[in-house]
Amino acid sequence: MPVRRHTLPLSLALLASPAFGQAIPGDVFVTEKSAGSVVNVRAGGDLSAAPRFATGLSAPTGICVTFEGDVLVAESGSGEVTNITAGGDFTGAGAFATGLDTPMDLFCEEGRILVVERSPGQQGEVTNITAGGSFAGAPSFAAGIGTGTTGLAFDPVSEHLFASDAGLGRVFDVTVGGVYLAVPPVASNGAGTAGLAARGAQLLAANPGTGTVVDFAGGGDLAALPVFATVPGVVNVLNVQGGDLLAASATAGAVFDVTAGGDFSAAAAFASGLSLDPEFAGMAHVGGCGDGILDGGEACDDGNVQDGDGCNSACRIRLCLTPPSSACFVAEHASLSVHEKQKRRYLAAGFSATLRGFDGAVALEDFGQPLFDLTRYDICVYDGDDDLVAQLIVARGFDVCGKKEKSCWQQVGDKGYKYTDPDLDSAGIGSIVVKGGAAGKGSVAVKGRRKRDEDRLPRMTGALQGSTKATVQVMVSDGSCFSAELPNVKRADEGKFQAAK
């Protein structure tokens, strides 16, 4: 069956690929301050003896991923921020930003990189380090937050930026920047409030002193706010795109999946064997295509960036698999005809494929719901080596075709559908007729051509030239797959290809 759009649950997304090496989408990093290392907890399990993603760091604290996919880590011991995207030993490595005063958490978004500095002189500050370089004596974006300033979190719903002061257990709204010595916090009376995270309508704060994660969206007394999760020794929380939530516990030296909320005092950890600082541990998720989570702009995400498995390296749905899918209805009889002839000013071309008599009973739902949905039909043509020669895509749910603007798709009785487009707007396809039936019945027929001065129907005969067989598959995005291997090649030259079964 063809791959459908989906979102992997956190546990599957994190297990989808190896845990160590060059940072790739799906990785989840946690800093180990005393060990001077960063660990990738993507694989979960007991990581006490596992190799670390990055070592040789000077008391690493905050970590974030830039819009371009670089992984930055704050080194509170050296006052630097270092790019660790490649992984490895960073002893003596050059830094992205220097001259910082006890940097703690980091925040990255498109066009902006912010770092928290404990900075006694500025009474706790947030500095914009987007440009990189030395920031010794540089002006701050926000100051006067408190010398226990620890965490940063941005709420995409309200577009507000929050900073925590672990020393006095406070949370400030620092969206507009400035000096906050005389500005009241949005929430206070927290027990060492450290890491912060925004998750939908929730604004969550990790309080190590009480071992709780509370929702401070309504502001007020942190000690009296609703407890979302109980995690002894919790120092940070991380919202993973897709709605999953992780919590780091210094007491347990572990990371818990706290997505559902509740009491995790006796729960099994997602990842253990970590050396976490009792005050704060940075956490970051590498998002993007290949992380197993359906991010904005992606049509699919199957947890890898490989082509040929239905979801390609750009996270676009590619129904035509390489090699051809083996999970299809197989036709007993089939034919394929492609002709191309160069005219004086244009290429005349035609395409016809017919598959009949399938090896199983074909129901109406096997053809998807082209009348009412965004059902997509991909017609896939392969050469004798099973290499994909052409992929003709028709996705016209709800669309109208022709001068009379009739629905492109019409239902034919109770067994099939018919697609008609005289304008050949989708891959040069003019008609698709699909009919179901009992085993040995059923059919799929596709016809297309090139109109003058248009090239929607791709060239095929050159790639098929000399082929001793061909394969045609029709993949339905929310239905089934229909296939035929055509071993009887009648003609295979550049200009015409004919084969049958």
Residues near 405 by beta carbon (within 8 Å), at least 6 away in sequence: none
Distance, in Å, from the CA atom of 171 to the CA atom of 187, rounded to the nearest integer, reads 5
Judge whether residue 114 has pLDDT over 90.
yes
Q: Can you give the pLDDT at residue 68?
A: 84
Judge whether residue 1 has pLDDT over 60.
no
In this prediction, residue 481 has a pLDDT band, given cuts at 50, 70 and 90, of very high
| Average pLDDT over the chain, rounded to an integer | 90
The gap from C-alpha 347 to its chain's centroid, in whole angstroms, comes to 40
Mean pLDDT lowest among 15-19, 208-212, 281-285:
15-19
CB count within 10 Å of CB 454 equals 14
Distance, in Å, from the CA atom of 75 to the CA atom of 82, rounded to the nearest integer, reads 8
- Check: CB of residue 147 under 8 Å from CB of residue 120: yes
- Check: CB of residue 457 under 8 Å from CB of residue 349: yes
Choose the CATH number for 17-285 among 3.30.530.20, 2.130.10.10, 2.40.37.10, 3.10.20.90. 2.130.10.10
Mean pLDDT lowest among 61-70, 298-307, 336-345:
298-307
Q: Hey, CA dihedral for 259, 260, 265, 269, is it positive or negative?
A: negative
Q: Can you give the pLDDT at residue 198?
A: 93
Judge whether residue 295 has pLDDT over 70.
no
- Check: CB of residue 230 under 8 Å from CB of residue 267: no
CB count within 10 Å of CB 241 equals 15
Residues near 428 by beta carbon (within 8 Å), at least 6 away in sequence: 349, 351, 392, 448, 449, 450, 451, 454, 456, 457, 458
Q: Can you give the pLDDT at residue 19?
A: 39
* Domain residue spans of the chain: 17-285, 329-500
Judge whether residue 121 has pLDDT over 50.
yes
